[in-house]
Amino acid sequence: MRHGKKFNHLGRKKAHREAMLSNMASSLLTHKRIFTTTAKAKALRVYVEPLITKSKDNTTHSRRVVFSYLQSKDAVNELFTTIGPKVADRPGGYTRILKTGNRLGDNADMCMMELVDFNESMLEAKSASAKAKAGSKRTRRGSKPLAKTADTVAQEVDEVVETPEVAEGNQETETTEGE
């Protein structure tokens, strides 16, 4: 009977599944991003997030425990030197799974799994939106930005129409027509 056994076996025996998760976790920690199926990514998230939590305290015991899961000195070193200090203040949720569509060969649901604090483009967008929010303070009684009046719009239109190139072109046309 399999009562209460809720983890995904991924169609593999125990030894094969553990070896695959160990290799995928090492790849994720060294490259910060991997492409895989959604089922494997969800299983990997359960496998790797406790290891990242253990990396917050850099002790010999926690290094040995993590090494027993990963079997890769490079991945353990990367985890404790780079990833651990960067996620020290995060209470969990170290990985993100973004679905990328279906695989062409077998139509498997594919995704990209990445470490949250290491996606540079999303971090830049987040900091830009935070700066924009800080610059535009909203109050209940505050004055709303003034709408453009008809005079200011007309002036802007006149400035656009009367550029130097257009003005010179109009003079040349007038002189050629007069001759």
165 and 100 share one domain: no
21 and 74 share one domain: yes
pTM of the model: 0.70
pLDDT value of residue 76: 97
Backbone angles phi, psi at 35, to 5 degrees: -110, 125
Query: Please, which residues bridge with residue 114 across strands?
Result: 33, 96
Question: DSSP secondary-structure letter at 115?
Answer: E
Query: What's the pLDDT tens digit per position in 70-114?
Result: 999 999 999 999 999 999 999 999 999 999 999 999 999 999 999
34 and 109 share one domain: yes
Comparing CA positions, the residue from 111, 59, 49, 122 lying closest to residue 83 is 49
Q: Assess if residue 175 is contained within a domain.
A: yes
Q: Assess if residue 179 is contained within a domain.
A: yes
**Domain containing residue 150:** 146-179
Could you tell me the CATH number of the domain that includes residue 48?
Answer: 3.90.1030.10
111 and 176 share one domain: no
Query: Please, which residues bridge with residue 98 across strands?
Result: 112
Question: DSSP secondary-structure letter at 23?
Answer: H
* Measured CA distances, 67 to 36, 95, 101 (Å): 23, 20, 33
pLDDT value of residue 171: 54
Q: Assess if residue 6 is contained within a domain.
A: no
Query: What's the pLDDT tens digit per position in 123-167?
Result: 788 778 777 777 666 667 765 555 555 566 556 655 655 555 544
Q: Assess if residue 173 is contained within a domain.
A: yes
Sheet with 95-102: list strands edge to edge.
33-37, 109-115, 95-102
pLDDT value of residue 45: 97
Query: What's the pLDDT tens digit per position in 5-59?
Result: 888 999 999 999 999 999 999 999 999 999 999 999 999 999 999 999 999 999 9
